[in-house]
Structure 1
Amino acid sequence: MTTADVAVIGLGAMGSAALYQLARRGMKAIGIDRFDPPHDRGSSHGETRITRQAIGEGAEYVPLVLRSHAIWRELEAQSGECLLHAVGGLILAGERAEGRHHAKPDFLGTTVATARQFGIAHEVLSAEQIAERFPQLILQGDEQGYYEPGAGFVLPEKCIEVQLTLARRMGAGVFTGERVLRLEPTPGGLTVHTSRARYAVGRVVLSAGAWVREFLPLEAFRVHRQVLYWFEPEDPALYAPERFPVFIWLHGPGEDGHFYGFPMLQGSAGVKLAGEQFSRESDPDQVEHTVSSEQIGFIYRHHVAPRLRALGPRCTRTAACLYTSTPDGGFVLDWHPELPGVFVVSPCSGHGFKHSAGLGEAIAQVIAEGRSAVSLEPFSLARFAKR
C-alpha cells in the first residue's frame, strides 16, 4: 500500500495547484483523478478563463487572486509557458440590468469598491467612452463600465498541465484513471480506497469538483451544466487580444440577463462567449456534452446579435462544463465535519479558476503549517448551518 503525507483527490484547477504547492514544500504528496487531467469532463477546460483582480463577488477574494497572478508569473518562469494574458477586462451594466452576478448584488459597484480598496488600477467609463474605445460593442447608451488593464485570461489546460508537471518533478505521485471509492479514517490518518489501489495518508485534500457530493452530500451543493460557444467573426482582427478585452456584460434581469466573452486567440475556432444557468441541475456522470442547435440559436439571438458587431451566426465549436455552486455563490474551504483530516476545497460556484493558484498555496499552508496567510474564514461550512 502506497503511503504519503497527503493525498489530493481531484486534479483540476484547485487540486493541481494544491499538489504543486504541497510538493514544493517538501511534503510527500500524491494526486488521484478519475480521468487524465487536463480533461474536458469537469470544470477546468475550454481554452480560456477570465481573471480579474477587483472582485465583484466580494473583497475576501482579492488577496487570493492577487497571489494567483504572482504565482502564475512564477510558473511561467519555471516552465517557459505563457499562462496569464493581461489583455484588459471590461465589466458593463445597463439600466435594465438586475446588477446581480454569482448571487451577489451590485456586482459592478462592488468591483469598483474593491478596486479602490486594494489600489487596483482601473477606470470607470461612461457609455460614450466604452463605445469609443471598443467599437465592437453595440450599446444602448445607458451603460456604465469598469475597465481593468491588469485583467485578462488564463489558459486552464496549460495551468493544470504545468502545475502537475512541476509537482511530478518535485517528487509528487500522480495516479490517473482511478476513481476514489471511499475514505476510511485510521488511527494514523486515512486510507484512500480507489478502483485500483489503497493509499495510506496523513491528510486528504478533497478537490473533487462536481463529485464532491459523493464524500460530502450537502443539499447546499448543486451541479449545473454550462455551455461555451465559439462564433466566427467577419474580421478576426477586430476581436484580436490587442483590440478586444475580456468582458462581463449585465444587460437585463434574471439569469439570461448577462453573458461574458473573450478576444479571439490565434488558432482558436472563434470568439468564445457564454452565459450561465442555475435553474437546472445535472448529474456529473450523465452530462450531455452535445450542444443543440436551439441552444446555439438562443445565445446568438439573445446575446450576440444585438450586442456584438461583425460576429456572424456560425458557431464553430461548443463545449459543456460544470459549475458546482452554493446558495450564496461562495467557495467552501473547510475541514470535513465527519472525516477528520479531510480538507474540502469546493464548490467554487463558477468563479474559481482565477483564484486557483493562490488557493493552492493557501491549502498547502493549512496542511503543512496549520493555517494560511490569507483568511479562509469567509469560506467555512458553518455559514450553511445558520440558514
Structure 2
Amino acid sequence: MTYDVIVIGLGGMGGATAYRLAQRGKRVPGLERFTPVHALGSSHGGSRITRQACFEDLAHVPLLLRAHEMWDQTERDSGERIFHRVGGIIVGGADSAAITGSRASAERWGLEHELLDAREIRHRFPALHPAADEIALYEEGVGLVVPENAVRAHLALAERAGAELHFEEQVTRWETGRVTTARATYEAEHVVVCPGAWAPELPGDLGIPFEVERAVQFYFTPGEDLRDHPVYLWDRTDGTNFYGFPEVDGAMKVAFHHGGQLCTPQTVDRTVHAHEVEAMSNATRAPMPAVAGTFQRAVTCLCTNTPDLHFVIARHPEHEGVTVACGFSGHGFKFVPVVGEILADLVTDGATRHPIALSDPARLRGGA
C-alpha cells in the first residue's frame, strides 16, 4: 500500500498532524498501537493548561498565539468544545523562574496581563493564600483545553479530510519510505513519527537522552465552590511547584509540576499510593486550603522530557524523509494544533514560517 505520508502515533500531536496533512490533499494513513483517545500516554486527564505568557522560553509565544487561533478554528470545524477561557494565574516570588519568565514573555510580545501583589491576589482570588512577598501574573484570555476532545476532534477532521486511521495496529519496524505493522506494510515518500513516551525507542541516534516521567493527576472535592476559579501554577520556594484547574463536575484537579518517578511505558506504576495523595494535600494545604478537601481519585500520565525541557520538532538527522516530534516535556499539549501545522509544513514544503529553532535537536548534540 503506497501513500504520500505515514503518521505514526495518533495522540495529540499525531492526530493534529494527520488532519493537517490530509487537509492539504496528502494520502495519509495514521497508525496507532492503542484505541482512539486512550489514557495510556500523554493526552488524557480531562484538562490541560494553555497560556500565552510562557516562562519556559519567550520564543514559544508566537506559537502559542497561533495555537489559540487554531483551537478556536478546530472547535468551529469539529463541533467539539475544547478551549475554555477561564483565565490563568501564575504565583511565586518576584524573582522566581515562573514569574520572571512569564513577565519577560508578556512584555516582549505585548501580551495583555496584570501583575498582582499578595493583597490583590487574596482580594481577587480568595482561594489563594500567598505569602506577603509573593506576586502573581494574571492573563484573562487563557485557560484550559480538554485533551480528549482535542484528540477526538482532530481524528474526526482527519478522517473527514480523507485520512485512513488504523487503531490497535502497532508499528513493528519503520525506515525511510516504509512502515511495517503486524497487519501490513505501508510505503510513502515521507514518515512522521509522534511517539510520545515511546520516544526513547526511536531507531537511529537523535543524540538526545529522553527521560519518561510518571506524573500523577489528583482530583479532590474542594472545600468551597471553585467552579469559576482560573487555572493556576504556583512556583514555590521549597520546590513543590504545583498547578491546577477550576472545579469541574464536583472535582478539582491538581498536580505537581515535574518531580515524578522515571519510568518507561512498560514499567510505569499505574497505582497511585496513599503517601502520594498525602504529599499533594500537604503541598496545597497552606497556599490553597480549599483544594485539600476530600480525595476522589487519581490517574497517571507520562511526560517525555529532554535535558533542557524544550521540544524536538525536526527532520530526523539519520533518516531522510522522516520527521519527528517528541520530548514535549510536560508543557506541550497547548501547542498541539500549531505542531500539526508545523509538521505538515516540514513535510510538504521542507520548512515552516513558524519559529522552531528552539526545537532543533542539534542544540543537544553540540550543534552537530
Coarse TM-score class (shorter-chain normalised): over 0.9
Could you tell me whether the CA contact under 8 Å between 2:63 and 2:355 is conserved in 1?
no
Cα distance between partner residues in 2 of 1:179 and 1:199: 13
Q: Give every structure 1 segment of 4 or more consecutive aligned residues whose post-TM-superposition deviation is greater than 4 Å.
A: 216-219
| Rounded Cα–Cα distance in structure 2 between residues aligned with 1:114 and 1:140 | 24
Counterpart Cα distance in 2 of 1:253 and 1:304? 12
TM-score by length of 1: 0.91
Gaps in structure 2 of 5+ consecutive residues: none
Task: Select which of 107, 110, 114 maps to 2:101.
Answer: 110
From 266, 282, 290, the equivalent of 2:263 is 282
Answering whether residue 193 of structure 2 is matched by residue 206 of structure 1, we say yes
Partner of 2:210: 221
Deviation of the 1:279 alpha carbon:
6.3
CA distance in 1, matches of 2:182, 2:64: 35
CA distance in 2, matches of 1:20, 1:57: 28
Tell me whether 1:263 sits opposite 2:246 in the alignment.
yes
Task: Quote how far apart the aligned CAs of 1:3 are.
Answer: 1.7
Identify the residue that residue 102 of structure 1 maps to in structure 2.
Answer: none
Q: Distance in 1 between matches of 2:40 and 2:321?
A: 27
2:219 corresponds, among 230, 239, 242, to 230
Q: Kindly indicate whether the alpha-carbon contact (under 8 Å) linking 1:206 and 1:212 is maintained by their aligned counterparts in 2.
A: no
Q: What does residue 90 of structure 2 align with?
A: 91
Q: Residue 234 of structure 1: CA displacement?
A: 2.8
How far did residue 197 of structure 1 move?
1.4
1:253 alignment partner in structure 2? 238
Correspondence for 1:296 among 277, 297, 304: 277
| Residue deviations 1:334-355 (CA, integer Å, cap 9, x gap) | 1112221110101101100001
- Take 2:260 and 2:253, find their aligned partners in 1: how far apart are those partners? 23
Tell me, which stretches of 5 or more residues in structure 1 are unaligned?
100-105
Which of 352, 356, 361 is the matching residue for 1:372? 352
**Structure 1 residue identity aligned to 2:324:** V
Distance 2:173 2:214 in 1: 25
Equivalent position of 1:322 in the other structure: 302
CA distance in 1, matches of 2:259, 2:134: 25
> How many Å separate the matches in 2 of 1:251 and 1:161?
35
Q: 2:303·2:330 contact (CA, 8 Å) conserved in 1?
A: yes
Distance 1:247 1:313 in 2: 17
Shift of 1:80: 1.9
Letter of the 2:241 partner, please give it.
H
CA distance in 1, matches of 2:273, 2:73: 41
Q: Which amino acid aligns with 2:333?
A: F
Correspondence 1:163 to 2:154: yes
Q: Please name the residue that 1:63 is paired with.
A: 62
Q: Give the Cα–Cα distance (whole angstroms) in 2 for the partners of residues 310 and 326 of structure 1.
A: 34
* Cα-to-partner distance string for 1:45-74 (whole Å, 9 max, x where unaligned): 000000001111112211111111111111
Distance (Å, rounded) in 1 between the aligned partners of 2:277 and 2:346: 43
CA distance in 2, matches of 1:124, 1:39: 39
Q: What residue identity is the alignment partner of 1:40?
A: A
8 Å contact kept, 1:225–1:282? yes
What does the per-residue CA deviation read over 1:73-95, in whole Å, with 9 as the maximum and x for residues that have no partner?
11111122221111100001037
Take 1:63 and 1:310, find their aligned partners in 2: how far apart are those partners? 35
**Residue aligning to 2:329:** 349
Superimposed CA distance per residue, residues 133-161 of structure 1 (whole angstroms, 9 cap, x where no aligned partner): 00011222111110000110000000000
Counterparts of 1:227 and 1:354, CA distance in 2: 19
Deviation at 1:116, TM superposition (A): 1.6
Cα displacement (A) at 1:309: 3.2
1:145 aligns with 2:126: no
1:20 to 2:19 alignment: yes
CA RMSD of aligned residues (A): 1.6
Distance in 1 (CA, whole Å) between partners of 2:307 and 2:343 is 23
Query: Percent identity, aligned pairs only?
Result: 39
Q: Once the 2 structures are TM-superposed, how far is the Cα of residue 317 of structure 1 from its aligned partner?
A: 1.5
- Whether 1:309 aligns to 2:305 is no
Equivalent-residue separation in structure 2 for 1:201 and 1:304 (angstroms): 51
Match of 1:32 in 2: 31
What's the TM-score, normalizing by structure 2?
0.95
In the aligned structure 2, how far is the partner of 1:219 from the partner of 1:167? 31
- Does structure 2 conserve the Cα–Cα contact (< 8 Å) formed by 1:89 and 1:149? yes
Whole-Å separation in 2 of the counterparts to 1:25 and 1:184? 24
Q: Secondary structure at the match of 2:263?
A: coil
Contact 1:220 1:384 in 2 (8 A): no
SS of 2:68 mapped into structure 1:
helix
Please give the secondary structure, in 1, of the residue aligned with 2:266. helix
Matched residue count:
365
Task: Give the match's secondary structure for 2:247.
Answer: coil
**Displacement of 1:372:** 0.9
Amino acid at match of 1:337: P
Residue number in structure 1 paired with 2:125? 134
Structure 2: how far apart are the matches of 1:334 and 1:312? 42
2 CA distance for matches of 1:125 and 1:42? 36
1:170-214 per-residue CA deviation (whole Å, 9 max, x = no partner) reads 1001011011111133xxxx1101122111111111101111222
Hey, what's the Cα distance between the residues in 2 that align with 1:49 and 1:357? 14
Change (3 A) 1:184 1:219: closer
Which residue among 163, 179, 201 is the counterpart of 2:170? 179
Instruction: State which drifts further: 210-219 or 57-66.
Output: 210-219
